[in-house]
Chain A
Amino acid sequence: MGFTSFKKTIKKDPFMADSIWKTYKLNSEKDLHINIGDLHVWIRKKDEEIWVAHQYSGELNEEEPEGLEWSRWAPKSIEEIRIAPVFQDLPVIINSEYPLKVTKGSSIQIFSRIPVWLQISLANSKYVLTEIPSIKLSRTWFGSPQEGELCYWLSTKARRSLAGVENKPNVINCPIWISNETNEDLDFEKFCFRVERLSVFGVKEELWADETKIEYNGEEQHSDVTMTGKLPSTIGKGELMSKPRNPVSKSFATRTFKMFFDDAHISAR
């Protein structure tokens, strides 16, 4: 499947028409209210401006509570707005609830489910107004105290199959192949998933990411990571809903499994 335009995608796929992932015409008399998972978003057209506010269910008291923190934009012209599913703006550390040992020379497929972000943009100019996480993830550090990178933190079950798993509209299913190319076992507990290089596809009533292949080359070596750009053949055909944020290259070598060394266990002061 090629990188077709979003508008074209919406018209072709009936799922898109029913879901929240589409373009909306704003009405100055009534706010647009979008709800996905725990996230509630209100979009208002007022005095030639676009106003956006959001809240999570835990914080919500009424249907449209007072005291929302609104953000305002004054575009060249008020046009249709587009809501698209996107990945996080930072890599995500996937923490498996139950550690798994990948024995030497073996390959496994796992599925991680990553909470989606809502991207609100102007439909014609594609100017991005804001992006809102459907679930707020905490942040974490991947690397050493001297150098590393900021990531989001997500505990998942790292399932081997999604059969019988309840479909949620606010998660993206991510198929990942992990190959252990070394002569030692890989303790798969956490890994750095570079989601900013992934596309989002709509398949039936679900969101899917393209397949990622990770080759583990040893603790001290970088892993080879490949974003295939395609859905696994078993999933079927999907429609592209958003392109990768950072489509630098499909294949790269990066630190994926090595984690942080904390010296607090030696001395707290």
Chain B
Amino acid sequence: MDSTSVAADSTLFSLSQEAFFSEEFLALSLRIAVILAVGFPILLIVRGWVRSFVSKKYATHYGMLAGKVVFHVGLIILVITVMGQLGISLAPLLGAAGILGVAIGFASQTSVSNIISGLFLIAEQPFKVDDIITIGTSTGFVISIDMLSVKMRTFDNRYVRIPNEMIIKTEVINLTKFPIRRFNASISVAYKEDVAKVREVLLDVAEKNEFALSEPEPIIVFDMFGASSIDLLLLVWAPKDEYIKLKNSINEEVKARFDKEGIEIPFPHVSLYSGSASKSIPIEISDPKNQLSAPENQDTKK
């Protein structure tokens, strides 16, 4: 390296250093820092306030959505303000965004579909945050309803993300939409049992169960003549929060009471008849000597 080039390098370095630490640059940096330092916490506070206000006044998921809208709008305003300070004009950026938007639009059809489905979900409100829903094979609590997806926590503590588009297309069962639920207990008794007595016993069990509601009153429905049993349905209501307790306790109580009353809960069995069902199977006892001689005869034939 010759002396001329070394001198040019040192001049450039001193010039850039001067520009970098100029008074104007420092003032600009300070302004941006103040905007971010003040704007961002204010944005977070406003988001929290809006979320809490809307949640209390309407519903939790509306609050979450309103908070997100406020946050993203505020963030865009902050970015535009910072860009204005840096002297970056928005016009060429918006032009580029228009062209880019078409390209991105084609590439992100699924996301757009999810966003639109999300809007339908919010408007239709088939479930809320904290509801228990079943979608496909997953059942759990709704954690959040977002623009792209719904997040769920299953009872075995797994995190499930379901795209909004899928929710719009598939069947969703909301287990906690209504305040009470009915448990349909399938109960089978042997054909020899007196159905009137069984009915009486089942209604007594339902009446004494601590989770079963008196009204709507428990009902026994004669379901069908099964292959090995008479099949009954015991329909009992409980508050939605106590559904599982009802399900567990009433089945146990029915079993215990049937045991006490001597009512048989049958298992599947097959009766074999030869010819008419009213006649027993004829059994023929053959002479063992003949049985032994038979193979001998066969051998002789050979």
Q: A138-B207, A146-B178 are in contact. Are A268 and B215 (CB under 8 A)?
A: no
A interface footprint on B207-243 (CB within 8 Å = 1, 0 otherwise): 1001011111101010100000000010101010000
Nearest residue, chain A, Cβ from B218: A264
Partner of A141, one of B215, B219, B233, B235: B215
- Whether the pair A264, B221 counts as a contact (CB closer than 8 A) is yes
Q: A140 touching B215 by the CB < 8 A rule? A: yes
Q: Mark B117-132, 1 if CB is under 8 A from A, else 0.
A: 0000000000000000
Q: Which 9 A-B pairs have the closest CB atoms?
A: A153-B214, A140-B214, A140-B215, A268-B221, A262-B216, A138-B214, A264-B219, A260-B216, A141-B213
Which residues in B have some Cβ–Cβ distance to A below 8 Å?
Answer: 178-180, 182, 184, 207, 210, 212-217, 219, 221, 223, 233, 235, 237, 239
CB distance from A200 to the nearest CB of B (A): 24
Chain A, interface residues (CB within 8 Å), range: 20 to 34
Question: Distance (Å) between the CB of B230 and the closest chain A CB?
Answer: 15
Q: Which of B216, B219, B223 has the most CB of A within 10 A?
A: B216
Considering the chains assembled together, what is the distance between the CA atoms of A41 and B180 in angstroms?
A: 33
Q: Which of B179, B214, B233: most chain A Cβ within 10 A?
A: B214
Q: Does A66 contact B (CB under 8 A)?
A: no
Interface residues of A in 122-166 (CB under 8 A from B): 136, 138-142, 145-148, 150, 153
Cα–Cα, bound, A150→B240 (Å): 11
Task: List residues of chain A with CB within 8 A of the CB of B182.
Answer: 264
What's the least CB distance linking B218 to chain A, in Å?
A: 10
A93 within 8 Å of B (CB atoms)? yes
Is the CB of A101 closer than 8 A to any CB of chain B? no
Query: Contact check: which of A93, A147, A264, A265 meets B215 at CB < 8 Å?
Result: A93
6 A-B pairs whose Cβ atoms sit less than 8 Å apart in the complex: A136-B210, A140-B215, A259-B215, A262-B217, A264-B219, A268-B184
Assuming the contacts A264-B235, A268-B184, A269-B184, asked whether A138 and B212 have C-beta atoms less than 8 A apart, the reply is yes
Which of chain A's residues has its CB closest to B237's CB? A141
Question: Complex: how many Å from CA A259 to CA B214?
Answer: 12
Say yes or no: A145 contacts B180, CB within 8 Å: yes
Complex contact B178–A145 (CB within 8 A): yes
Given contact pairs A140-B215, A145-B180, A150 touches B239 in the complex (Cβ within 8 A): yes
Which residue from A93, A141, A153, A264 sits with its C-beta under 8 Å from B180? A141
Chain A residues whose C-beta falls within 8 Å of the C-beta of B217 in the assembled complex:
262
Q: Which residue of B lies closest to A259 (CB)?
A: B215
A148/B179 in contact, CB under 8 A: yes
A153 touches B215 (CB 8 A): yes
Closest to A261 in B: B216
Give complex CA distance A139, B184 in Å: 19
- Give min CB distance, B184 to chain A, whole Å: 7
Tell me the bound Cα distance from A140 to B179 in angstroms: 12
**C-alpha gap A91/B79 in the complex (Å):** 57
CA distance A260 to B207 in the complex (A): 18
CB contact between A260 and one of B210, B215, B223 (< 8 Å): that residue? B215
With both chains docked as a complex, state the minimum distance between the C-beta of B135 and any C-beta of chain A, in angstroms: 22
Residues from chain B with Cβ under 8 Å of A259 in the complex: 215
Chain B residues whose CB sits within 8 angstroms of the CB of A265 once the complex forms: 219
Contact yes or no, A142 B215, CB < 8 A: yes
Docked pose: A236 CA to B192 CA in angstroms: 62
B222 CB, nearest partner CB in chain A, Å? 10
Chain A residue at smallest Cβ distance from B177: A146
> Apart from A93-B214, A136-B210, A268-B235, what are 14 other A-B pairs with CB-CB below 8 Å?
A138-B214, A139-B213, A139-B214, A139-B239, A140-B215, A145-B178, A145-B216, A147-B179, A148-B180, A150-B179, A153-B214, A153-B215, A268-B233, A269-B184
Please, how many angstroms separate the alpha-carbon atoms of A153 and B216 in the complex? 11
| A115 to B: closest C-beta gap in Å | 15
Point out the residues of chain B lying under 8 angstroms from A139, CB to CB. 213-214, 239
In whole angstroms, what is the CA distance A265 to B214 when docked?
16
- C-alpha gap A250/B179 in the complex (Å): 28
Which residue on B lies nearest to A147, using beta carbons?
Answer: B179
Q: Which residues of B lie under 8 Å from residue A138 when comparing CB positions? A: 207, 210, 212-214
Q: In the complex, what residues of A have CB within 8 A of residue B179's CB?
A: 141, 147-148, 150
Q: Smallest Cβ distance from B234 to chain A, in angstroms?
A: 10
Q: A76 to chain B: closest CB distance in Å?
A: 34
Q: How far is the CA of A116 from the CA of B188 in the complex (A)?
A: 41
A141 with B216: CB separation less than 8 A: yes
Q: A153 to B233, alpha carbons, bound, how many Å? A: 24
Q: Per-position contact with B for A239-267: 1 when CB-CB < 8 Å, else 0?
A: 00000000000000000000110101100
